[in-house]
């Protein structure tokens, strides 16, 4: 079945550690995104990538890093520089053609807790 | 900057009844897309319905329909014949044509009462 997978579902991190969240899609989508969701707030964009080896910062990129070495994969690293990393992280993907992107579809999310 | 406002933090509806969730947005653009996403307790975001701003006809997907008022910048979601599985957070979202960023509202929590 085509879809977006995120792993792990739950992740615990000690302060000062970097952690990497995985996002894989087999939808043959060109664009991929990372969002952060906090209680009582909508989703906020961290990073996005339209094509392999290219990505752009979203609204809250500080303390995060990404890579896009393969079309199917867009891992997110939460670094020790991120002051308040405890949150729910959602990955999404979409087609990109004709100079614009199509509807975004989401993975099941990863809950990150800093101990 | 574009903003999306959902003024109803929580709503409730009796099973089999109809409920309408409100959304307003602010933009100076003429070409854009609007979305409603559903987030059930599993927390996976699921696309419910999508509307292109250039289309005057309101989008419909089975029991879900929208009332798109472009001049008023209003985009409400109507759920007919509500089912227990409709209980979730509902997010309204906006994307400008040609841009990647999607702006989300803060969500409305829908409770379905048996």
CB pairs under 8 A between A and B: 51
Nearest Cα to Cα of residue B45 among A72, A3, A57: A3
* Residue of chain A nearest B51, judged by CA positions: A103
Beta-carbon count within 10 A of B20 CB? 15
Give me the residue from B37, B43, B98 closest to A100, CB to CB.
Answer: B98
Per-residue pLDDT at A48: 94
- Which residues 27-56 in chain A show a CB within 8 A of chain B? 31, 33, 40-45, 48, 50, 56
Beta-carbon count within 10 A of A63 CB? 15
pLDDT in tens, A25-74: 999 999 999 999 998 888 999 999 988 999 999 999 999 999 999 999 99
* DSSP code for B96: E
| Alpha-carbon gap, residue B73 to B23, rounded angstroms | 9
Nearest CA of chain A to the CA of B106: how many Å? 4
- pLDDT of B9 > 80? The answer is yes
pLDDT in tens, B62-92: 999 999 999 999 999 999 999 999 999 999 9
């Amino acid at each position: 079945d085509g879809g977006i997978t995120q792993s792990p579902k739950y992740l615990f991190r000690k302060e000062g550690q970097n952690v990497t969240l995985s996002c894989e899609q087999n939808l043959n989508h060109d664009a991929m995104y990372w969002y952060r969701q906090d209680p009582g707030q909508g989703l906020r964009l961290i990073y996005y990538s339209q094509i392999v080896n290219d990505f752009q910062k979203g609204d809250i990129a500080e303390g995060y890093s990404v890579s896009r070495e393969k079309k199917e994969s867009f891992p997110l690293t939460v670094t020790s520089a991120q002051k308040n990393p405890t949150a729910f992280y959602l990955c999404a993907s979409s087609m990109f053609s004709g100079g614009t992107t199509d509807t975004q579809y989401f993975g099941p999310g990863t809950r990150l807790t800093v101990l | 900057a574009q903003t999306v406002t959902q003024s109803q933090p929580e709503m409730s509806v009796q099973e089999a009844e109809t409920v309408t969730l409100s959304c307003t947005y602010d933009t100076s653009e003429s070409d854009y897309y609007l979305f409603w996403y559903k987030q059930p307790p599993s927390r996976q975001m699921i696309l419910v319905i999508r509307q292109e701003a250039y289309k005057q006809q309101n989008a419909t997907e089975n029991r879900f329909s929208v009332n798109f008022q472009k001049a008023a910048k209003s985009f409400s979601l109507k759920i007919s014949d509500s089912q227990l599985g409709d209980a979730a957070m509902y997010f309204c979202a906006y994307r400008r044509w040609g841009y990647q960023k999607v702006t989300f509202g803060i969500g409305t929590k829908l409770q379905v009462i048996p």
